[in-house]
Every structure is written in structure tokens, then in C-alpha cells.
Amino acid sequence: MNGIAVKIAGVERVFPNGVRALSPISFDVAPGEFVAIVGPSGCGKSTLLRLIAKLDPPQAGEIALAPDESGRLAFVFQDAQLLPWRNVLRNVAVPLELMHVGTQECLKAARDAIAQVGLGDAAERYPNQLSGGMKMRVSLARAMVTRPRLLLMDEPFAALDEITRQRLDEQLLALWSTHGTTVLFVTHSIAEAVFLSQRVIVMSRRPGRILLDRKIDLPAARAANLRSSAEFAAQTKDLFEVLRQESEAIADGEKP
């Protein structure tokens, strides 16, 4: 797998109730690449991430991870899933504790990760004392504390207001730029996908297949004002059109 972090070859997924979630899907992800995945609800985006994380088995095909990625993988879910009886510091430390890292090293790494997401002054707070955006930053710090080589993110900012979401997008990009992590990011937002990623994969309605695999032709450094630029609008236009056509196809298929 020289030069490939994630290899997906002919992967299919059928649920126990017979629902076919994914058609044969194939694509590669390069080390350090940031790839966004968009598509209609129920198209198998989250299912695909679970297969990559080996939380579920595919019915056909193969998913292979480069050695560095397979041993150092982190998953950020839609919900922050913080332990309510632990403060921020102890929540972020959980992955290292499970790896049996020494207490002092564990707490130091947790503090560093918390500082990287801008929550250094909230280390002693508990989840019920945090806003939604702060909870997701804690979740991101917890994912990054092990210095993962592969980061899987399933609509982590979907429930947040637009301003908070954009700020977290910018923070995520800063972390990605610093650590060089390979990222697969599922979102319903075309604008978020274009702003964050180097490449966007558009999936069809269920059973999910790839409709478009598009490189994003924007500068590597992406400031907040990029969202209002003509270049940004041009990059989102084609993706929106593909999803619009897919949405109309779904609607037509539901007509009697």
C-alpha cells in the first residue's frame, strides 16, 4: 500500500434485515489527505465510516489500512459522548488510560490536546457546564490526544449553530495542518465539505455508490473569508448540482 492510507475495493454492505446500504464502492485515500463525503440521508456515508473503523463487517470487497493508520485510528461521532462524571481533562485522557499510559504522561498529553482546541481554561469543568460547541471541541481533543494517523468524523458539527460550526471547521483545519492526519469527514453541508477538504466524494441514494469524486481546487490555507469568494462558489456549484439531480431522482422515484 505504498502511498495509500486507506484502500476501499468493491465494498458492499447489507444489513441483517436485507436492506442494501452500499453498492460496490472503490476509492483510495492518500496519507495526510482530507476527504469529505456528502450525499442524501441514508445513502451509507456513516455506514462506510463504520466499515473503515472495523465496527461492522462488509458483505463483499476489502478495506485495507496502511500499518500506521490501522494502529492509530480515532473516530469522532455526531454526539460528543462525554462521560458526565468526568471533567474535561479526565474525558480527554480516556483513550490514553485505555492504552495504559502512565498517569503523569497521560494528563500532560490531555492538557496539551485541550490547549490545542482552545479549552485550556476549561480543563476542570464537567460536561453539563459546557456549551454544545465546547463539548465537540472536547470530543475532538479526545480524538487527537493519541496523535492518530487516521481520523474518521461523522457529522461532528451538524447540531451546532452556523457561526460555531464555521469556527470549529477552521480549528479542525489548523489541527490537520499541524499534525498531517488523514481525515475522512462525513457531512450534509456542501459548503463545509468544500471549505475543509482537498477532495469531495458525492454518494448516491441507497444503496450508496459514488456519483462524483472531485478534487477541490482551492488554496491550501483557507481563511474564513474564503467562503464569500467567487472561487468558493464555483467549487460548490457542481457539487450542489449533482446532489440536486440526485434529490430530484429520489422525489421522482417516490411518486406513484
Q: Do both 131 and 248 map to the same domain?
A: no
How much is the pTM?
A: 0.92
How many residues are there in the chain?
Answer: 256
The confidence score (pLDDT) of residue 256 equals: 37
Q: Do both 143 and 55 map to the same domain?
A: no
Laid out side by side, the sheet with 210-215 consists of 73-76, 150-154, 182-186, 34-38, 199-203, 210-215
- What does DSSP say about strands 34-38 and 199-203: parallel, antiparallel, or unpaired? parallel
- How many domains are contained in the chain? 2
Q: What is the mean pLDDT of residues 71-90?
A: 92
Q: Do both 163 and 68 map to the same domain?
A: yes
For residues 57 and 31, the answer to whether their CB atoms sit within 8 Å is no
Q: Kindly state whether residue 88 falls inside one of the protein's structural domains.
A: yes
- One-letter amino acid of 138: V
Give tens-digit pLDDT for 152-192. 999 999 889 999 999 999 999 999 998 889 999 999 999 99
- The confidence band for 246, taking pLDDT boundaries of 50, 70 and 90, is confident
Q: Do both 211 and 163 map to the same domain?
A: yes
Domain of 96 in residue numbering reads as 81-147
Q: Kindly state whether residue 124 falls inside one of the protein's structural domains.
A: yes
Give tens-digit pLDDT for 97-119. 999 999 899 999 999 999 999 99
Cα(88)–Cα(90) distance, integer angstroms: 6
Q: Do both 108 and 157 map to the same domain?
A: no
Q: Do both 172 and 101 map to the same domain?
A: no
Q: Do both 50 and 168 map to the same domain?
A: yes
Q: Do both 228 and 165 map to the same domain?
A: yes
- The confidence band for 131, taking pLDDT boundaries of 50, 70 and 90, is very high
Q: Kindly state whether residue 1 falls inside one of the protein's structural domains.
A: no
Burial 44-72 (b: 16+ CB within 10 A, else e): bbbbbbbbbbeeeebeebebebbeebeeb
Q: Could you tell me the CATH number of the domain that includes residue 48?
A: 3.40.50.300
Q: Do both 169 and 209 map to the same domain?
A: yes
Grouping H, G, I as helix, E, B as strand and the rest as coil, residue 101 is: coil
Q: Kindly state whether residue 85 falls inside one of the protein's structural domains.
A: yes
Q: Do both 248 and 195 map to the same domain?
A: yes
Give tens-digit pLDDT for 15-74. 889 899 999 999 999 999 999 999 988 889 999 999 999 999 899 999 999 876 656 899
Average pLDDT, the chain: 90
